[in-house]
Structures are given as C-alpha cells and as structure tokens.
C-alpha cells in the first residue's frame, strides 16, 4: 500500500470495531439487571452491532483494495 494513511485508518478501524464488541450489552442479560426498559438495552445492543459492522467493513474493504492495488502495480512493473 503506497498511501500509509489509508492503511493506518483501516487498521485502526478494524481494531476499533472489535473494541465496540467489548461494550456490547446482551438484551437477554439486561432484562433482569434492573435497567428500566428492555427497549433501551435492545437499542444499545443494535447500536454496538451497527458500529462493529460499519468500522469492520470500512477497514476490511480499505485494506483489501490497497492490497489488490499494490499487487496489481507490482505485477505491472514486472511486465515492463
């Protein structure tokens, strides 16, 4: 990957996606814990899962595109 900024952002995004799962609240556990509303627990759980999917997909796609571009540029240099 020629642009290290994208590689850095992608790596941070993937790591952050797994960090969001650390704070995941399971709605089944939340129901008996004294939190006032199960809707709040469900909303928080969905927010964590959406954040995980967003950060992980951005990081994975960015790393994959960078890898494929660098691989294609290396094969183009070999042909010349």
Closest CA to 55 of 20, 5, 23: 20
Q: What pLDDT is stored for residue 24 in this prediction?
A: 79
pLDDT tens digits, one per residue of 49-77: 999 999 999 999 998 998 888 888 777 66
Per-residue DSSP letter, 9: H
Sequence-separated (6 or more) residues with CB below 8 Å from residue 21: 48, 52
28 Rama sector, left if φ>0, alpha if ψ -120 to 50, beta otherwise: alpha
pLDDT tens digits, one per residue of 6-51: 888 899 999 999 998 887 777 777 766 665 677 778 888 889 899 9
Question: What is this structure's pTM?
Answer: 0.76
């Amino acid at each position: 990957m020629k642009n290290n900024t994208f590689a850095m952002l992608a790596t941070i995004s993937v790591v952050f996606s797994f960090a969001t799962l650390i704070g995941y609240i399971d709605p089944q556990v939340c129901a008996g814990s004294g939190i006032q509303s199960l809707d709040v627990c469900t909303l928080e759980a969905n927010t964590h899962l959406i954040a995980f999917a967003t950060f992980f997909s951005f990081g994975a796609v960015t790393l994959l595109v960078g890898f494929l571009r660098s691989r294609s540029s290396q094969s183009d240099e070999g042909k010349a």
